Chains A and B, each alone.
Chain A
Amino acid sequence: MSIEVVGVHKSFGDFAALTDINLTVPAGQLTALLGPSGGGKSTLLRVIAGLEDADSGSVEIEGVDATSLPAQKRNVGFVFQHYAAFKHMTVRKNIAFGLEIRKRPKAEITAKVEELLELVHLTQFAERKPSQLSGGQRQRMALARALAIEPSVLLLDEPFGALDAKVRKELRDWLRRLHDEVHVTTVFVTHDQEEALEVADTIVVINDGRIEQVGTPDDLYDKPASEFVLSFLGPVTRLGGQLIRPHDIEISRYEQAATATGPITRWTRVGFEVRLEVTPDDVLHPEPVQVVVTRAEATALGLHPGDQVWLRPQVGAQTVSS
């Protein structure tokens, strides 16, 4: 077991950032800490790295009690949202920094830096200053710098948060591939559920300083433990007193056994999807229900705005009663 967090509490003044956190991060995996901003996920990451002291509880890294070790001694690689580049040093110097601190032989440092430059595809930028790199390149440099010290664990705090959508997607795929090559135990913080679902082996959902659920992406998506997890991991709507994903609703123009019935009151086409809003006739649950169907389905079912339709959960759909 690579990281073991037991009973961690952390408050900033009156604000309880973390409450009784118990977490085991398995070795060699890519784990995501997912949750809304201000929920405590970054604080947890910083407690693991030793950049923040927990008020109580313990942190163990690779079987060693790290609770009272300063950040310098934890051998943890940390990547920041805003790169934290050493602006006055070249890319090569940035990557070599941790090794120079450890007073490794010159030849070893040179070889290791070359290898890492190769790994993050920055070989031809080695002599540049961080200011001459794009955001994505800077973050790859920061990653190489963190990997250079051969850390026991690699921690990334919203690593792609400052990048634009396209670069973020590329870098996220690249991180997944890199992890498959390097296999270092990795924990990254994100508020983007898509990022977590796509990249992580395990997802830890954190909200209000507490862990809501730990599981594989499939577990979380298919068997959410709470209303919060269900709603955080994708769009949800309310159908007859239950929470359900809009694409898990069966829609029909013909009368059938149904949870709700009513006219289609809104019709929005977004690319290949059609997003509908149905206002139920039910006086107990009058709030509109969102339904998503593909354009082909909409055509096949002969749906039009204003049609009276009947709605029910699809067979096997995940619902949470509320």
Chain B
Amino acid sequence: MASRTRQRTGPAGLTARLVVVVYLFLLVAWPVSVVVQRAFDPVGQPGGVGALWERLSAPDAVYAFYLTLTVAFWAVVVNTIFGVGISLLLVRQRFRGRRALSVLVDLPMSVSPVVVGLALVLTYSTGLGWFGSILSETGVRIIGSTPGLIMATAFVSLPLVIREVVPVLEEVGTDAEVAARSLGANARQTFWRITLPTIKWAVVYGVVLSAARAIGEYGAVRIVSRGAEFNGETATLLIQNEYQAFDEAAAYAAAFVLVMAALLALVVVTVVRPQEGSES
């Protein structure tokens, strides 16, 4: 019998409901709605969509969003290739240190973004990093240029694809792959035609999460970037700089775009999840 005890919402239950709704409203819902509203606010000019558009099409904002998308794109590409590859190795192969590696790849998520930035500076900074002298001899700059931003972003979002793909690979097992091999498919054909379709949705999910994280990364980027206008200023750094330069309207406009991106990621994630279940 699946029948539960009847749910009478007594005075205690109603109080709890009220407390939760008020708490979440004051802490999250209301502040977020104010940001959205301020993005459209008239400040010295007519408000509305036009004002928002004008703020977003300012050259520094265009540069910042372009840089953010470039950095996020490369970080996601690198993480996806690395993530799918390492997931296949971890699940399908046996080698010494495999278990240690599976623990280590999860590490980046628990490191504070500031420490990530610090770690990269200590290693790759042209002046004082471990590899600093080699880098300055070859003339390659990492810290304070786009490669450094990509590395910082890739670091903080590294485990997201792996976390999604590994469980799916473990669950589907190797029966289909072995069957394909027995039917004469080579390793590459087996990967493209059998393995990849089964992990497709897990990869999509991991990519969405990585992209959301990459676009929104601030702490690690702040440390490795120069963060000046037209010089390493990503969208998140733009928000900080504009706010601190008292151009709040521009900060709110950029924040509005990132809030929408976050909401979009949330929606996509909730849509992709069930599909993944019905696919496998």
B1 within 8 A of A: yes
What is the bound-complex CA distance between A116 and B17, given in angstroms?
42
Query: Contact string, A36-55, partner B, CB cutoff 8 A, digits 1/0?
Result: 00000011001000011100
Residues from chain B with Cβ under 8 Å of A42 in the complex = 1
Whole-angstrom CA separation of A12 from B1 in the bound complex: 13
Category for how many chain A residues contact B: under 10
Judged by a CB distance under 8 angstroms, whether A248 is at the interface is no
B99 at the A interface (CB under 8 A): no
B3 on the interface (CB 8 Å rule)?
Answer: yes
Q: Could you tell me if A157 and B3 are in contact, using CB atoms closer than 8 angstroms?
A: no
Could you tell me if A12 and B3 are in contact, using CB atoms closer than 8 angstroms? yes
Cα–Cα, bound, A42→B1 (Å)? 7
The reply to whether A157 and B1 form a contact with Cβ atoms under 8 Å apart is yes
Cα distance A52–B7 in the bound complex, in angstroms: 11
How would you classify the secondary structure of chain A's contact residues: helix, strand, loop or mixed? mixed
Give the Cβ gap from B206 to chain A, nearest Cβ, in Å: 34
- Residues of chain B within 8 A of A43, CB atoms compared: 1, 3
Measured in the bound complex, the distance between the Cα atoms of B6 and A53 in whole Å is 9
**Scoring B residues 1 to 42 as 1 if CB is less than 8 Å from chain A, else 0, what string do you get?**
101011000000000000000000000000000000000000
Mask for A1-27, Cβ within 8 A of B = 1, else 0?
A: 000000000001000000000000000
Give the distance to chain A from B8, nearest Cβ to Cβ, in Å. Answer: 10
CA distance A52 to B5 in the complex (A): 7
Closest chain A residue, CB of each to CB of B1? A42
B5 touches A51 (CB 8 A): yes
Residues of chain A with a CB closer than 8 A to B6's CB: 52-53
Min distance, Cβ A216 to any Cβ of chain B, angstroms: 27
* Minimum distance in angstroms from A73 CB to a CB of chain B: 16
> Taking CB as reference atom, which chain A residue is nearest B8?
A53
Contacts of A46 in B (CB 8 A): 1, 3
- For B1, B3, B6, the residue with the greatest tally of chain A CB atoms inside 10 Å of its CB is B1
How far apart sit A42 and B2, CA to CA, in the bound complex (Å)? Answer: 11
CB-defined contacts of A12 to chain B, threshold 8 Å: 3
* Contact partners of B1 in chain A: CB under 8 A: 42-43, 46, 157
Q: How far is the CA of A248 from the CA of B3 in the complex (A)?
A: 41
Within 8 A of A (CB), among B84-138: none
Q: How far is the CA of A52 from the CA of B6 in the complex (A)?
A: 7
A38 and chain B: residue at smallest CB distance: B1
In the complex, residue of chain B having the shortest beta-carbon distance to the beta carbon of A53 = B6
A46–B5 CA distance with the chains assembled, in angstroms: 10
Distance from B88 Cβ to chain A, minimum over Cβ atoms (Å): 36
A103 CA to B26 CA, complexed, in Å: 43
| A51-70 Cβ-contact flags toward B at 8 Å (1 or 0) | 11100000000000000000
Closest B residue, CB atoms, query A12: B3
Give the nearest-CB partner of A71 in chain B: B5
How far does the alpha carbon of A191 sit from the alpha carbon of B3 in the complex, in Å? 18
Complex-state Cα separation, A119 to B5, whole angstroms: 31
B-contact 0/1 string along A148-164, CB 8 Å cutoff = 00000000010000000
Where the two chains meet, the residues of A that have a C-beta atom closer than 8 Å to any C-beta of B are: 12, 42-43, 46, 51-53, 157
Residues of B that sit less than 8 Å from A by CB: 1, 3, 5-6
- Pairs of residues from A and B, 6 with the lowest C-beta to C-beta distance, nearest first: A42-B1, A51-B5, A53-B6, A12-B3, A52-B3, A157-B1
Question: Knowing that A43-B1, A51-B5, A157-B1 are A-B contacts, what are 8 other residue pairs whose CB atoms are under 8 Å apart, sorted by A's residue number?
Answer: A12-B3, A42-B1, A43-B3, A46-B1, A46-B3, A52-B3, A52-B6, A53-B6
